[in-house]
């Protein structure tokens, strides 16, 4: 039986507090597209994606109308492309990226993820060719997202791959310099990458997944923030309960939408990703949640504790609301996509070191952070190695998506537009880790990975 | 299946008539109404049976939205499942 206060609460969450479904992402396997001819490969990939997801956008829009809840993004993730590329050259991989772009345009989706390679223990020639193609692929496409998994708790950290990624990030920033080095905003370096993550830019369709699958990412920082604001001066146990209850309600909507989408698209339901994903819009900020919890500004002492509690409570509330939880599932802290984070960096309250500490207790990593354009490759590799080791040691996903904004320096602002937002360039340490990075090799897996 | 229709805005003549006429025209059977006027503001919640709806639900949502816009009201039309899913375990 419905009652008036429940109805009004739901409508208020959607209309005033920005409750939305952040993404419906269809995972599509490309394993059956393999060919030794790159043109045939591209055609098969285009055909498979456009056929599999031909109704994704229209079904998403219908569900949006039916339940009155915005579904912000409809997206596709595919099998890591290096697994289907076989012996094609780097130029061949750029062609594949363009085929992915064409498929995304045909479908009307706003991102397609999976221009990816999994190299946590080493690289095949195919992986190497794909990785070499990343700068050109991201320059010549708009909707294609790329990710590279360079470490796992089981395998350790592939420092050779991190060294290569330092060069790739620099090159991508340079060749997209006329657009704020935006190529780097579509490139993620992972540890323990999730195979069912629906969020971009790191989504890809893992090899253990079915032919097609629907994964849904919920959101709602504004809803949590408002609930905390209404709670007043309660203690932290009560606050955790309030966050849990709110996360439960948000996730229930995600579950409803996911089941409806899976059923209408005749595709298996995969997972709900319980993430608080901010947008640059006012009232949709994770930093503001932390500030509503009692911090004067995000980034000050106490931020990591507040974020750890928030992240844990969101998971506890969400997990009962969904039949399958997966993906990244935690609070995101992308600087450029969060009005409160942007403000905290501009005020000098939030440093890269604090962001790194925060990533130890939430998903997902150093995300959408603009760094000076003249940052050396070695410093970028050092940033990646630090962040990746947090993921490996804590058996969690971490990632780095930094943008060395060409021609920009500390304090400048880089605008990426749309959901990607804008970011003030953040200060880094000057001293070089070059000798450490140049050693190469693999950092062994931590002792607690030996669980068998 | 039921839809929940909420109507809010400045009070004006004939709000209920307009919405209920549209419901009847499109085949939605109103089964419950609660409404109140606070100061000059009007708030109404209708539950309508949509099993016999003559048009797709998304078109019904649009048609009520149009009426709302032309009358300076905010009309939300949503399937009941979102409320029951969110608030009942």
Say if residue A283's pLDDT is above 90: no
On whether residue A52 sits in a domain, the answer given is no
Asked if A68 is an interface residue toward chain B (Cβ–Cβ < 8 A), one would say yes
Coil, helix or strand at residue A209: coil
Say which of A2, A4, A69 has its CB closest to residue B80: A2
Left if phi > 0, otherwise alpha if psi is -120 to 50, otherwise beta: which for A277? beta
Q: Largest Cα–Cα distance in chain B?
A: 40
Q: Which residues of A touch B81 (CB under 8 A)?
A: 67, 256
Say which of B4, B34, B86 has its CB closest to residue A253: B86
The distance of Cα B14 from the centroid of its chain, to the nearest Å, equals: 14
Q: What's the average model confidence in pLDDT over A50-70?
A: 95
The predicted pLDDT at position A340 comes to 95
Asked if A294 is an interface residue toward chain B (Cβ–Cβ < 8 A), one would say no
The answer to whether the Cα torsion of A397, A425, A348, A344 is positive or negative is negative
On whether residue A353 sits in a domain, the answer given is yes
Q: What percent of chain A has pLDDT over 70?
A: 100
Say if residue A51's pLDDT is above 80: yes
Find the helix packing angle between A159-175 and A125-140, rounded to 10°. 20
Contact assessment for residue A84 and residue A34, using Cβ atoms and an 8 Å cutoff: yes
Mean pLDDT estimate for chain A: 94
Contact assessment for residue A196 and residue A326, using Cβ atoms and an 8 Å cutoff: yes
How many whole angstroms separate alpha carbon A74 and alpha carbon A257? 12
Interface of B with A (CB under 8 A): 4, 6, 34, 45, 47, 57-58, 61-62, 76-87
The predicted pLDDT at position A364 comes to 81
Q: Which residues of B touch A9 (CB under 8 A)?
A: 87
On whether residue A449 sits in a domain, the answer given is no
Say if residue A17's pLDDT is above 90: no
On whether residue A417 sits in a domain, the answer given is yes
Say if residue A67's pLDDT is above 90: yes
Number of domains in chain A: 1
Contact assessment for residue A370 and residue A427, using Cβ atoms and an 8 Å cutoff: no
Question: Do A6 and B87 make contact, defined as CB atoms within 8 angstroms?
Answer: yes
What pLDDT, in 10s, does the model give residues A168-211?
999 999 999 999 999 999 999 999 999 999 999 999 999 999 99
The predicted pLDDT at position A295 comes to 97
The predicted pLDDT at position A282 comes to 78
Left if phi > 0, otherwise alpha if psi is -120 to 50, otherwise beta: which for B15? alpha
Q: Smallest CA–CA separation between B14 and chain A, in Å?
A: 22
Which of A9-18, A390-399, A401-410, B22-31 has the lowest average pLDDT? A9-18
Say if residue A339's pLDDT is above 80: yes
Q: Which residues of A touch B85 (CB under 8 A)?
A: 252-253, 255-256
CATH of the domain at B6: 3.30.70.260
The predicted pLDDT at position A49 comes to 98
The distance of Cα A187 from the centroid of its chain, to the nearest Å, equals: 10
Which of the four pLDDT bands, split at 50, 70 and 90, describes residue A165?
very high
Say which of B57, B83, B87 has its CB closest to residue A66: B57
Say if residue B10's pLDDT is above 80: yes
Which of A279-283, A293-297, A311-315, A332-336 has the lowest average pLDDT? A279-283
Q: Smallest CA–CA separation between B69 and chain A, in Å?
A: 16
Say if residue A147's pLDDT is above 90: yes
On whether residue A253 sits in a domain, the answer given is yes
Q: Smallest CA–CA separation between B82 and chain A, in Å?
A: 6
Number of domains in chain B: 1
Residue B12 structural domain: 2-87
Instruction: Select, from the ranges A12-21, A180-189, A330-339, A355-364, the one with the highest average predicted confidence (pLDDT).
Output: A180-189
Interface probe for A, chosen from B53, B73, B76, B82 (most Cβ of A below 10 Å), is B82
Say which of B4, B47, B82 has its CB closest to residue A69: B82
Say if residue B43's pLDDT is above 90: no
The predicted pLDDT at position A280 comes to 84
The predicted pLDDT at position A168 comes to 98
Coil, helix or strand at residue A363: coil
Left if phi > 0, otherwise alpha if psi is -120 to 50, otherwise beta: which for A239? alpha
Coil, helix or strand at residue A142: coil
Residue A234 structural domain: 216-438
Which of the four pLDDT bands, split at 50, 70 and 90, describes residue A91?
very high
CATH of the domain at A356: 3.20.70.20
Say if residue B40's pLDDT is above 80: no
What pLDDT, in 10s, does the model give residues B58-85?
999 999 999 998 888 889 999 999 999 9
- Looking at A196-325, which runs of residues are DSSP E strands? 212-218, 269-273
Contact assessment for residue A11 and residue B43, using Cβ atoms and an 8 Å cutoff: no
Q: Which residues of B touch A65 (CB under 8 A)?
A: 57-58, 61-62
Say if residue A260's pLDDT is above 90: yes
Give the gyration radius of chain A's Cα atoms: 21
On whether residue A229 sits in a domain, the answer given is yes
The predicted pLDDT at position B73 comes to 87
- HSE at residue A418, side-chain half, CA atoms within 13 A, is 9
Say if residue A363's pLDDT is above 90: no
The predicted pLDDT at position B14 comes to 82
């Amino acid at each position: 039986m419905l009652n008036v206060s429940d109805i009004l609460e739901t409508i208020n969450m959607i209309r005033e507090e920005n409750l939305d479904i952040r993404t419906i992402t269809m995972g599509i396997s490309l394993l059956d597209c393999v060919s030794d001819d790159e043109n045939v490969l591209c055609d098969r990939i285009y055909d498979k994606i456009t056929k599999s997801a031909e109704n994704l956008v229209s079904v998403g829009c219908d569900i949006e109308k039916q339940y009155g809840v915005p579904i912000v993004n409809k997206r596709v993730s595919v099998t890591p492309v290096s697994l289907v590329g076989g012996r094609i050259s780097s130029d061949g991989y750029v062609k594949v990226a363009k085929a992915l772009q064409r498929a995304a345009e045909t479908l009307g989706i706003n991102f397609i993820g999976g221009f990816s390679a999994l190299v946590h223990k080493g690289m095949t020639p195919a992986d190497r060719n794909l990785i070499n193609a990343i700068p050109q692929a991201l320059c010549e496409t708009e909707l294609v997202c790329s990710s590279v998994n360079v470490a796992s708790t089981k395998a350790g950290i592939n420092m050779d791959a991190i060294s290569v990624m330092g060069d790739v990030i620099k090159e991508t920033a340079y060749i997209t310099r006329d657009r704020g080095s935006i190529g780097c905003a579509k490139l993620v370096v992972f540890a323990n990458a999730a195979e069912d993550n629906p969020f971009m830019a790191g989504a890809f369709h893992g090899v253990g997944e079915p032919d097609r699958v629907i994964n849904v990412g919920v959101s709602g920082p504004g809803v949590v923030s408002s609930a905390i604001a209404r709670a007043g001066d309660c203690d932290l146990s009560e606050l955790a309960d309030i966050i849990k209850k709110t996360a439960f309600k948000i996730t229930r909507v995600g579950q409803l939408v996911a089941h409806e989408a899976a059923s209408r698209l005749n595709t298996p339901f995969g997972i709900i990703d319980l993430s608080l994903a901010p947008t640059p819009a006012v009232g949709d900020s994770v930093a503001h949640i932390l500030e509503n919890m009692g911090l004067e500004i995000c980034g000050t002492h106490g931020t990591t504790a507040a974020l750890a509690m928030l992240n844990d409570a969101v998971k506890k509330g969400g997990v009962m609301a969904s039949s399958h939880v997966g993906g990244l599932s935690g609070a995101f802290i992308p600087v450029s996509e969060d009005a409160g984070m942007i403000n905290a960096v501009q005020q000098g309250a939030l440093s890269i070191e604090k962001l790194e500490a925060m990533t130890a207790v939430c998903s997902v990593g150093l995300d959408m952070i603009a760094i000076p354009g003249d940052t050396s490759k070695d410093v970028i590799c050092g940033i990646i190695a630090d962040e990746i080791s947090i993921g490996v040691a804590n058996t969690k996903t971490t990632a780095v998506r930094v943008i060395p904004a060409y021609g920009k320096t500390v304090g400048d602002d880089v605008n990426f537009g749309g959901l990607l937002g804008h970011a003030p360039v953040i200060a880094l340490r000057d001293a070089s880790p070059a000798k450490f990075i140049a050693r190469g090799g693999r950092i062994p897996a931590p002792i607690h990975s030996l669980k068998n | 299946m039921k839809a929940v229709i909420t109507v809010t805005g400045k009070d004006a003549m004939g709000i209920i008539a307009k919405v209920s006429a549209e419901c009847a025209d499109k085949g939605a059977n109103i089964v419950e109404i609660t409404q109140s006027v606070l100061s000059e503001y009007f708030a109404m919640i209708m539950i309508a049976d949509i099993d016999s709806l003559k048009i797709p639900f998304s078109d019904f949502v649009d048609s009520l939205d149009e009426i709302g816009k032309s009358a300076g009201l905010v009309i939300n039309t949503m399937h009941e499942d979102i409320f029951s899913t969110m608030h009942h375990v």
